[in-house]
Chain A
């Protein structure tokens, strides 16, 4: 397994005025690995994603790309490196068809004239390799189901040949079958050797596809767990901070006392 992290955050901090959104956060993502980023509301998940995507530049700390330090100041910098972000509110144009959406902003063209044939061909190949099923690549995105739209949005991120894909709550608004489609796609991203950062509230989803779970709590690292060796409850406890409560403190005291 290639163990060099493609993207590593080292001691990243971010402030918004008086609010310390991230404090000393570390995160590593390796190729062919799905890392889930979990945390309660306001734990800093979105902020962390935005620092990687270049929406908010970091204040302190370092970002390493394939082992060498890089600066991500603008969304463009992140895209240049090979970070593709799929935001929660899908950035798709409902009125355009699937091909047009996949290539929006990076159309294949000769001079300024669109090369529809080449785009359609490449779109089909991409969707086929990802085993994405949609009725036709030439129907408007508006007539696709929520899951199909999410899948198109993720496929769209792959057009630019990224190495890291960030998925922000990809299953939040989806039904059971549609969630399954998206999770299948996440597994295929891993098979293709992409490093995937999955932000999710849904523990079942996380345990289904993620290799590791990074927990954020109040803007700080609160543990990185291997999904296989960790129980659901332990992760929930890390998210909520439930391990630090009256019961656990009493337990700790009683075990101390009994010694």
Chain B
């Protein structure tokens, strides 16, 4: 038994225990034992060709990400602008910005749920309950404006948590739980509204400002654009510096400059359009709030352990459980986030439509919210997608609505076109998923 095959220890393998904590100090790491680094690791150092190859590899592998939706947005802009040259006018774009906020905030919540591989059908009803609750508390019962807003949002979150508990703990499919919620909460909404058909937004209230307030000072839009660009540049530089210190592949300065340049052009173009042309009203508050929510949500999803756990549960719940992740907790809290953001979105919708009503959140709003998230590139099958897809998808849907409104088209055409766009998005998702599967096996 003593003949342990302690064959000549591999001379290439340093005897060092990899598990010693090496995260802190700088080491000549990343040089593989044989000295040769895998050639496929060098994508970043081949210049433009490397990027092109990397891009082709991603597309072949089915990682389309947000590419289709950006192409779609450009097509939408070109088509509608050629049909009606007021589509890209200041007031039209400003409207798109404001209306995108309400839909987009709800879509952020749904994106979290989709990342889990689940669906939330109650978004519209919860938005309606949030708006109705706020209106009844604030207008009918004359409660403090801020307090009623906070209560409305908190109740939205609570509703989401209830859905999550039924889904995670009881094991009812999320589809059914939220379908029940869809009906039940819209009943609660109608009951809350009572005899009132609609409760108008009081002038000077917070909810009115949500979509009605514009920063008239031109400096505001430019300042926000500058801060955003600088923050983006700063995060890229910091990341590159840390990676260089750790001897890991990092973005070359040229790429950082290019990325920052693209972001800067977009940010300042938006700021310019909101500020300068005739009829411009300045930076809408709605857009600021929406962007803050998107940036925060994106940070949570991509940079925190919580976000990583959401992706893990969405990718393979059993693997996540074996890795010691509290799957139930993730599921419940994600539905809580969706409910919270649905209520916030409901307040925005109430603000845009002039008040809470019995039918707020009914109709095709739910479908638009889910469509926004999916069109943006978040997979219906879980584990793939990002928060920015909510913004891009909401932009697509609102742009189509705005364009068709300018053409004087009726809502039936809007429904059909939005339906077709959603179908196209889901087809792309399914096909790219299939491509990923085949690319995933060799």
Contact surface of A with B, Cβ cutoff 8 Å: 1, 3, 30, 32-33, 87, 90-96, 100, 104-109, 112-118, 120-122, 124-126, 128-129, 131, 133-136, 140, 142-146, 158-159, 161, 187-188, 190-192, 211-212, 226, 228
Contacts and interface: CB of A to CB of B under 8 A. Distances in A.
A172 to B, nearest CB: 16
A89 B409 CA distance: 54
Given A92-B316, A129-B33, A144-B440, A105 B323 contact: yes
Interface string B36-64: 00101101000000000000000001010
B10 A188 contact: yes
Contacts of B364: none
A112 B304 contact: yes
Q: For the complex, would chain B's binding face be called helix, strand, loop or mixed by DSSP majority?
A: loop
Nearest to B302: A114
A212 B33 CA distance: 29
B305 A191 contact: no
A226 B3 CA distance: 8
A158 B311 contact: no
Given A91-B323, A109-B305, A135-B41, A124 B248 contact: yes
A91 B305 contact: no
B71 interface: no
A144 B304 CA distance: 25
A136 B243 CA distance: 15
30 contacts: A1-B4, A32-B4, A91-B319, A92-B319, A93-B312, A95-B311, A95-B316, A95-B382, A96-B308, A96-B312, A100-B311, A105-B323, A109-B304, A112-B304, A112-B305, A117-B239, A117-B242, A117-B243, A125-B29, A125-B30, A128-B29, A128-B33, A131-B12, A136-B38, A136-B41, A136-B43, A142-B437, A159-B19, A191-B10, A228-B3
Interface string B414-442: 00000000000000000000001101111
Contacts of A211: 3-5
Given A96-B315, A129-B16, A113 B303 contact: yes
Nearest to A131: B33
B442 A145 contact: yes
- Going nearest first, the 9 A-B pairs with the smallest beta carbon separation are A105-B323, A95-B383, A93-B315, A95-B315, A118-B23, A142-B440, A161-B19, A91-B319, A105-B324
B278 interface: no
Contacts of B16: 129
B436 A96 contact: no
Contacts of B267: none
Given A1-B6, A93-B383, A100-B312, 12 more contacts: A3-B2, A96-B312, A121-B29, A125-B22, A140-B436, A140-B440, A142-B437, A146-B442, A158-B18, A187-B7, A212-B1, A226-B1
A94 B315 CA distance: 6
Contacts of A190: 5-6
A226 B437 CA distance: 42
A91 B318 contact: yes
A121 B13 contact: no
A131 B383 CA distance: 30
A146 B441 contact: yes
B308 A94 contact: no
Given A129-B33, A135-B40, A91 B18 contact: no
Interface centre among B239, B243, B315 (most CB of A within 10 A): B315
A144 B12 CA distance: 25
Given A104-B319, A131-B13, A135-B40, A115 B23 contact: yes
Interface in B277-332: 303-306, 308, 311-312, 314-316, 318-320, 322-325
